[in-house]
Structure 1
Amino acid sequence: MELTTLDYTVDGPIARVTMNRPAALNTMNKEFWPEIIEVFQAIDADPSIRVVIIASTGKHFTAGLDLGWAGSNSASTEPVDLGRARESFRRHVRTMQESFCIIDRCRVPVIAVVHGACIGGGVDLITACDIRIAAEGSYFTIQEVSIAIVADVGTLQRIPYLLPQGLIRELAYTGRRFPVEEARQYGFVNRVEASHDAALAAADAMAREIAAKSPLVITGIKNVLNAGRDQTIEQGLDYVALWNAGLLQGDDLPNAIRGQLSKTTPVFADLKA
């Protein structure tokens, strides 16, 4: 695939997705949104991939939406029926939302590695990930309020599962910086490392640990956790019972038990394409 805003590589069971527009602070331009979908479609189609690491380049993780592109996109002077124009814009926003929904739905865990600033759309992106590792000195900003936008690409829908309501409302109403030290106190990030390189190394070690587990079980855990956001406890219990009843039929369970009893590391087959 030809990519202009991202680098995509596969290292054994680990896929690495790296935002690569450092001179533009990795802002999310017109090309970014379809490219992230294309990359995650490729990930979902590759049964050898067991974990994804999303990282970035340059001084900051991302400054969020490319305001130059966003401004030009909304500045059309072509006469058009207002209702049709607004319906077209609704579809445009839904397309952008899909760029992060596909990360949320990804069948394997996704680890975000944040350094520097993570602003606006960057918060939308990392809240769609399973795990967040950050470098010291990094910070997060729900910036949309400062440019008169209600954040509309996923932050307000996903962050309530990660932070307390009062804090969310403060951050969303004020647009203030949420420094990584404060974020760690609330569990928004899984860990904080001394540098960007150290954060990448920590993500790599975690990814390899996850990749060594049964991929069938890992995708089951993610599926059950995601489904549970929209279910009562009773519905969630029934769902996981049905999941395990359907999928605990193969070789992974006895393979894992043998490994535990013999103190050896089991090797699990990839999922089927």
Structure 2
Amino acid sequence: MTVPNLKNYSTLSVSIEENIAHIQLCRPQELNSMNLAFWAEIPEAVRYIDEHALARVIVISSQGKHFSAGMDLSVFENMGASFKGEPARRAEKFRRHVMQLQDTFNALEEARMPVLAAIQGGAIGGAVDMISACDSRYCTQDAFFCIKETEIGMTADVGTLQRLPHIMPHGLVRELAYTGRNMMSKEAQSCGFVNHVYPDQETMLLEVFKLAKTIAAHSPMAVAGCKEMINYTRDNTVANSLNYMATWQSGMFQMPDVMEAMSAGQQKREAAFENLQPKSDKL
């Protein structure tokens, strides 16, 4: 079903079934390029789903031949028009603009539920920034990945260079960034960037949604804890991460979900867990 509280976006199609949110990039004629509207819509949709606890897993896919051609030309043109005025103030403004773009994909990483990316065809430039912020990636045989920014005279600045070194070998990240070459699906799987390669998009989506359904069947508190700890460990020492784990567990480890999981296993039925509570900024 289409979620009524998520407005009709111009770049996205959003639906939720069986605790799984499906966000599709829906501008296939434009190769799902990331226009100005996209940069506002994708974080709004993800954060709304998270804040209202509408799903336990988010799957991101796209319509058409290619996943995404990356940054739309209109965004570059808009940036170019802003390069005027006193240099220091112009630079300060541009820094804030880049950080706003970065925050778009931070939303994927900050969401309490896992975000799975299903990629067909090309994932170019900004699309690599986006999927690098997802929890796991899956692709079709014809998929390829390209850090295109170097080829057009700029340094990738929305997350690729910060996240990829935590996902694949540093030497390979440097090669891809320095050359701007395409990394094909087989190589992407062999280096651990994608978890699995499928023959076509239909098969990929079928299998990714099976995986999402398995995740959604588990305690959402346990899954959210896994994501929180893995992200924290990536950015901190083992000792600090173990300390944080102990602190987290002292509050978040409660018996109802454990007892329900054990009971369901004994009775050979699907466990029934409460959803996460919606976030609230109100005191």
Query: What is the TM-score when the length of structure 1 is the normalising length?
Result: 0.96
SS at match of 1:74: helix
Aligned equivalents of 2:82, 2:262: Cα separation in 1: 62
Q: RMSD of aligned C-alpha atoms?
A: 1.3
Aligned to 1:237: 242
1:106 aligns with 2:99: no
CA distance in structure 2 between the partners assigned to 1:2 and 1:261 by the alignment: 44
**1:14 corresponds to 2:20:** yes
C-alpha spacing 1:76/1:220, structure 2 compared with 1 (3 Å): closer
Matched, 1:139 2:144: yes
Structure 2: runs of 5 or more not aligned = 1-6, 279-283
Aligned-partner Cα distance in 2 for 1:60–1:154: 21
Q: CA shift at 1:250, angstroms?
A: 4.2
Structure 1 counterpart of 2:175: 170
Q: Which residue of 2 aligns with 1:247?
A: 252
Which residue does 1:71 correspond to in 2? 77
Whether the 8 Å contact between 2:34 and 2:71 is mirrored in structure 1 is yes
- Equivalenced residue count is 272
Q: Which residue of 2 aligns with 1:125?
A: 130
Are the aligned partners of 1:135 and 1:199 in contact in 2 as well (CA < 8 Å)?
Answer: yes
State yes or no: 1:204 paired with 2:209: yes
Partners of 1:201 and 1:187 in 2: CA distance = 21
Q: Could you say which residue in structure 2 is the equivalent of 1:217?
A: 222
Match of 2:275 in 1: 270
C-alpha contact (below 8 Å) 1:26/1:61 kept by paired residues: yes
Of 20, 31, 38, the match for 2:44:
38
Q: Is 1:55 matched up with 2:61? A: yes
* 1:13-49 Cα distance to aligned partner (Å, 9 max, x none): 0111111111111110111101111101211122241
Once the two structures are superposed, residues 28-77 of structure 1 have per-residue CA deviations (whole angstroms, 9 ceiling, x without a partner) of 01111011111012111222410000000111000000123312431347
Deviation sequence 1:84-119 (CA, Å, 0-9, x none): 111111111111000000101110000000000000
Show structure 1 runs of 4+ deviating over 6 A.
Answer: none
**Which whole-Å deviations, capped at 9, do the CAs of 1:241-269 have from their partners, x for residues lacking one?**
11111111241011112223343321111
User: Partner amino acid for 1:30?
Assistant: L
**Equivalent position of 1:4 in the other structure:** 10
Query: Contact 1:20 / 1:56 at 8 angstroms: preserved in 2?
Result: yes
Of the structure 1 ranges 250-259 and 142-151, higher mean CA displacement relative to structure 2 is found in 250-259
Name structure 1 gaps, 5 residues minimum: none
Q: Describe the SS at the equivalent of 2:155.
A: coil
Q: Which whole-Å deviations, capped at 9, do the CAs of 1:130-174 have from their partners, x for residues lacking one?
A: 011101111000110001111000000000111101111000000
**Residue 6 of structure 1, CA deviation:** 0.8
SS at match of 2:36: coil
Q: Percent identity?
A: 40
Distance in 2 of aligned mates of 1:86 and 1:192? 42
Would you say the 8 A contact 1:12–1:48 is kept in 2? no
For normalisation by structure 2, the TM-score amounts to 0.93
2:4 maps to what in 1?
none
Deviations 1:167-214 (A, max 9, x none): 110000000000001111111111011101111111110000000000
Paired residue type of 1:7: S
Query: Match for residue 3 of structure 2?
Result: none
Equivalent residue, structure 1, for 2:30 = 24
What is the CA–CA distance in structure 2 between the aligned matches of 1:72 and 1:90, rounded to whole Å?
15
Instruction: Verify the 8 A CA contact 2:56 2:114 in the aligned structure 1.
Output: yes
Q: Classify the secondary structure of the residue corresponding to 2:235.
A: coil
For 1:252, what is the secondary structure of its paired residue?
helix
Asked if 1 retains the 8 angstrom alpha-carbon contact of 2:69 and 2:125, the reply is yes
Q: Secondary structure at the match of 2:44?
A: helix
SS at match of 1:62: coil
2-structure distance, mates of 1:249, 1:126: 33
Q: For the residues of structure 1 that align with 2:264 and 2:112, how far apart are their CA atoms?
A: 25
Find the aligned partners of 2:228 and 2:82 in 1 and give their Cα distance: 41
